[in-house]
Amino acid sequence: MTDARIEINGTHLNTRIDGPDGAPGVVLGNSLATNLNMWEALVAALTPDYRVLRFDKRGHGASDAGDAPISIESLADDAVALAREFGFTGGHY
């Protein structure tokens, strides 16, 4: 497990990555009023075969809200940028 705060699209986002290097990637973002810990049980099931990136969406958990308005588009942009930052390639964004 690796925890990191990464600057993405002008905002610091809290991330956690688990699973074997080189495995296919899965990205999980939290739902409203939660944080990346909501995925604990699923991560335990996925990590034998997948590299799992979890993150706290803007304004949740340990992620900053940023100065710009939060929209569905900005949340999607954050997820794609994080996937690329961590080397997840070949996926459908």
pLDDT in tens, the chain (93 residues): 899 999 999 999 999 999 999 999 999 999 989 999 999 999 999 999 999 999 999 999 999 999 989 999 999 999 999 999 999 976 655
pLDDT at position 68: 87
Euclidean distance between CA atoms 93 and 10, whole angstroms: 20
Q: What is the model's pTM?
A: 0.90
Which residues have CB under 8 Å from 58's CB, separation 6+? 11, 13, 64, 65, 66, 70, 74, 75, 78
Distance CA 53, CA 21 (A): 12
At residue 80, the pLDDT reads 95
Alpha helices in the chain (DSSP H): 40-46, 72-85
